[in-house]
Chain A
Amino acid sequence: MAEAPKATREAIEAVDLAENPFKKDFPLLANNPHLTFLDSAATAQRPTVVLDAQRDFYERLNSNPLRGLYKLSVEATEAIDKVRRKVADFIGAPLSQGIVFTRNATESLNLLALSMGRLVLGPGDEVCITIMEHHSNILPWQQVCRETGAKLVYMRPNEDCKLTAEEIETKITRRTKIVSVTQVSNVLGVENPIKDIAKRAHAVGALCFVDGAQSVPHMGVNVQELGCDALAFSAHKMFGPMGIGVLWAKKELLEKMPPFLTGGEMIDWVTEDDFGCAPVPQKFEAGTQDAAGIVGLGAAVDYMRAVKRENLEARERALVADLARKLGELPFIRLIGPANPNDHVAVVSFNVCGIHPHDVASILDSYDVAIRAGHHCAQPLLAWMGIESCCRASVAVYNDEQDIDNLVEGLQKVWGMFNGAE
Chain B
Amino acid sequence: MELNNIYNTALMEHNAHPDYKYEMDDPTLQHEGVNPSCGDDIVLSLKLDGDVIEEAAFTGHGCAVSQASADIMADLITDETAEHARHLCDLFLKMIRGEVTDDAELAELGEAAQLKGISLMPARVKCAELGWRTAMTMLDERLAAEGK
Q: Report which A residues bind B (CB closer than 8 A).
A: 355-359, 362-363, 365-366, 374-375, 382, 388-389, 417-418
A366 touches B3 (CB 8 A): yes
Knowing A417-B7, A417-B12 are in contact, say whether A359-B64 is a contact too (CB < 8 A).
yes
Q: Name the B residues within 8 Å of A362 (CB-CB).
A: 3, 6-7, 65, 121, 123-124
Residue of A nearest to B63 (CB): A356
Among B2, B37, B65, the residue within 8 A (CB) of A359 is: B65
B3 touches A356 (CB 8 A): no
A356 touches B6 (CB 8 A): no
Q: Chain B's nearest CB lies how many Å from the CB of A65?
A: 38
Residue of B nearest to A362 (CB): B124
Among A358, A365, A382, the residue within 8 A (CB) of B63 is: A358
A358 touches B3 (CB 8 A): no
Cβ < 8 Å to A, chain B residues 40-86: 40, 61-65
State the CA gap A129–B40 with chains docked (Å). Answer: 28
Q: Name the A residues within 8 Å of B16 (CB-CB).
A: 418
Q: Name the B residues within 8 Å of A382 (CB-CB).
A: 39
Residue of A nearest to B118 (CB): A362
Q: Chain A's nearest CB lies how many Å from the CB of B15?
A: 8
State the CA gap A374–B36 with chains docked (Å). Answer: 11
A388 touches B64 (CB 8 A): no
A358 touches B7 (CB 8 A): no
B135 within 8 A of A: no
Q: A356-B40, A362-B121, A362-B123 are in contact. List 15 more A-B contacts (CB 8 A).
A: A357-B63, A358-B63, A358-B65, A359-B65, A362-B6, A363-B3, A366-B3, A374-B37, A375-B38, A388-B38, A388-B39, A388-B61, A418-B12, A418-B15, A418-B64
B12 touches A356 (CB 8 A): no
Residue of B nearest to A374 (CB): B38
B127 within 8 A of A: yes
Q: Chain B's nearest CB lies how many Å from the CB of A61?
A: 38
Q: Chain A's nearest CB lies how many Å from the CB of B114?
A: 16
29 contacts between A and B (CB under 8 A): A355-B64, A356-B40, A356-B64, A357-B63, A358-B38, A358-B63, A358-B127, A359-B7, A362-B3, A362-B6, A362-B7, A362-B65, A362-B123, A363-B7, A365-B3, A366-B2, A366-B3, A374-B37, A374-B38, A375-B37, A375-B38, A375-B39, A382-B39, A388-B39, A388-B61, A389-B38, A389-B39, A418-B15, A418-B64
State the CA gap A116–B61 with chains docked (Å). Answer: 42
State the CA gap A359–B40 with chains docked (Å). Answer: 12
Q: Chain A's nearest CB lies how many Å from the CB of B23?
A: 20
State the CA gap A349–B65 with chains docked (Å). Answer: 22
Residue of B nearest to A387 (CB): B39
Q: Name the B residues within 8 Å of A357 (CB-CB).
A: 63
Q: Mark B8-28, 1 if CB is under 8 A from A, else 0.
A: 000010011000000000000
Q: Chain A's nearest CB lies how many Å from the CB of B36?
A: 9
Task: Point out which of A358, A366, A375 has the most chain B C-beta atoms below 10 A from its C-beta.
Answer: A358
Q: Name the B residues within 8 Å of A363 (CB-CB).
A: 3, 7
State the CA gap A358–B61 with chains docked (Å). Answer: 12
Residue of A nearest to B39 (CB): A388
